[in-house]
């Protein structure tokens, strides 16, 4: 519990501030400073992905946390089309499945090269204990 800030937040609505692993990295002194130094790289876009992605090109990383769990097959297909269209060359993708591991469209899975070792490493770091699968890979 002392090293799982996610679990303490979930159960007690609070982080454990006096423990080394009691908060997310961005809230400890070093993480906060690193985040602050990189704020110029952060872009907040207050609109749905399906509106943002068609007007964007060259994205080098996508972090899609259980996005595909909630979509119907046609919406999953459309989202994959939009991701492929907005992706830069060799874009990295991390997607998580919480409820299920719904099948992604063939045109997407043929281009997504899953890195099994990295996916397993990231799964080992996952603290919420809620995800059934995490996939990390690159678009070819």
Q: What is the pLDDT of residue 129?
A: 65
Task: Report residue 135 as tokens.
Answer: 């996939």
Task: Report residue 97 as tokens.
Answer: 């499945």
Least Cα distance to 82 among 47, 114, 123 occurs for: 47
Q: What is the pLDDT of residue 96?
A: 83
Query: Left, alpha or beta for 9 (phi > 0: left; psi -120 to 50: alpha)?
Result: alpha
Distance CA 80, CA 50 (A): 10
For tokens 């899609």, name the residue: 64
Q: What is the pLDDT of residue 134?
A: 83
Distance CA 9, CA 3 (A): 12
Walk me through the domains of the chain, giving residue ranges and CATH numbers: 1-42 (no CATH), 43-139 (3.40.50.150)
Task: Return per-residue pLDDT of the chain as tens, 140 residues.
Answer: 667 787 888 888 988 888 888 888 888 889 999 999 999 988 888 999 899 999 999 999 999 887 888 888 999 999 999 999 999 999 999 988 776 777 789 999 999 999 999 999 988 877 666 677 888 999 99
């Amino acid at each position: 519990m002392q090293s799982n800030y996610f679990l303490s937040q979930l159960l007690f609505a609070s982080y454990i501030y006096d423990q080394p692993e009691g908060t997310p990295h961005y809230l400890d002194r070093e993480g906060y400073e690193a985040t602050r130094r990189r704020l110029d790289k952060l872009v907040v876009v207050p609109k749905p992905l399906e509106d943002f992605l068609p007007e964007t090109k060259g994205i080098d990383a996508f972090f899609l946390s259980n996005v595909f769990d909630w979509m119907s097959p046609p919406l999953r297909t459309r989202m994959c089309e939009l991701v492929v269209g907005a992706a830069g060359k060799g874009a990295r993708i991390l997607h998580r499945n919480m409820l299920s591991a719904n099948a992604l469209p063939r045109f997407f899975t043929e281009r997504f090269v899953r890195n099994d070792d990295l996916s397993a490493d990231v799964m080992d770091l996952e603290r919420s204990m809620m995800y059934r699968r995490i996939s990390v890979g690159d678009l070819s």
